[in-house]
Structure 1
Amino acid sequence: MAYTKEDIIRMVKEEDIEFVRLQFTDIFGQLKNVAITASQIEKAVNNQIMFDGSSIEGFVRIDESDQYLYPDLDSFVVFPWRPQHGKVARLICDVYNPDGTPFVGDPRGVLKRVLDKARKMGYDTFNVGPEAEFFLFQTDDEGKPTTKTNDEAGYFDLGPLDHGEGTRREICLALEQMGYEIEASHHEVAEGQHEIDFKYAPALECADKIMTFKLAVKTLAQKNGLHATFMPKPIFGVNGSGMHTNMSLFKDGKNIFFDEKGDKKLSDDARHFIAGLLEHVSGMTAVLNPLVNSYKRLVPGYEAPCYTAWSASNRSAL
Structure 2
Amino acid sequence: MNLSAFPDFSEKSFDADFLNLLMFDISGGMRSVTIPRGYVTEAVFRDGIGFDASNYGFAKVDKSDMVAIPDRSAAFLEEREEFRTVHVICDVVSTERNTFDQYPRSVAERTAAFLREKNLADRAMMLVELEYYVFESVEYSTGLDHAGYSVGSSEGLGEEYSSVPRFGPHKGYHRLPPEDRYLDFRNRTVHIMEQAGIPVKYHHHEVGASQLEIELDFMDLVRAADSVCVAKWIIRTVAEEMGLFVTFMPKPLYKMPGSGMHVHQFLERGGTSLFPGRGLHGLS
Aligned to 2:143: none
In 2, distance between residues paired with 1:167 and 1:146? 22
In 2, distance between residues paired with 1:36 and 1:67? 17
Aligned to 2:158: none
Structure 2 SS opposite 1:105: coil
CA contact (8 A) 2:132 2:249 kept: yes
Going by fraction, where is helix more abundant, 1 or 2? Answer: 1
CA contact (8 A) 1:147 1:235 kept: no
| CA drift at 1:91 | 0.7
Give ranges in structure 1 of 5+ residues lacking alignment.
269-318
In 2, distance between residues paired with 1:175 and 1:8? 24
Aligned to 1:149: 153
Between the aligned residues of both structures, percent identity stands at: 27
| CA drift at 1:48 | 2.9
Aligned to 1:12: 14
Structure 2 SS opposite 1:102: coil
In 1, distance between residues paired with 2:28 and 2:137? 25
In 1, distance between residues paired with 2:214 and 2:36? 32
Whether 1:100 aligns to 2:97 is yes
CA contact (8 A) 1:137 1:146 kept: no
Aligned to 1:222: 240
Whether 1:188 aligns to 2:212 is no
Structure 1 residues 102 and 130: alpha-carbon distance in aligned structure 2, compared to 1, 3 A threshold: same
In 1, distance between residues paired with 2:52 and 2:139? 36
| CA drift at 1:166 | 1.1
Structure 1 residues 167 and 11: alpha-carbon distance in aligned structure 2, compared to 1, 3 A threshold: farther
What one-letter code is carried by the residue in structure 2 that aligns with 1:136?
V
What one-letter code is carried by the residue in structure 2 that aligns with 1:214?
K
Structure 2 SS opposite 1:147: strand
Bigger relative contact order, structure 1 or 2 (CA pairs below 8 A, ≥6 apart): 2
In 2, distance between residues paired with 1:128 and 1:147? 33
Task: Trace 1:200-215 onto structure 2 (pairs within 5 A).
Answer: 200-215=218-233
Structure 1 residues 250 and 84: alpha-carbon distance in aligned structure 2, compared to 1, 3 A threshold: farther
Structure 1 SS opposite 2:40: helix
Aligned to 1:127: 125
| CA drift at 1:49 | 1.0
Aligned to 2:85: 88
Give ranges in structure 2 of 5+ residues lacking alignment.
141-148, 156-165
TM-score normalised by structure 2 residue count: 0.84
What is the aligned-residue RMSD (CA, Å)?
2.2
What one-letter code is carried by the residue in structure 2 that aligns with 1:132?
L
CA contact (8 A) 1:183 1:199 kept: yes
Going by fraction, where is strand more abundant, 1 or 2? Answer: 2
- Report how many aligned residue pairs link the two structures: 256
| CA drift at 1:10 | 4.3
| CA drift at 1:258 | 2.2
Return the match for 2:194 from 176, 179, 189.
176
| CA drift at 1:11 | 4.6
Aligned to 1:287: none
CA contact (8 A) 2:108 2:222 kept: yes
In 2, distance between residues paired with 1:134 and 1:200? 20
Task: Trace 1:65-80 onto structure 2 (pairs within 5 A).
Answer: 65-79=64-78
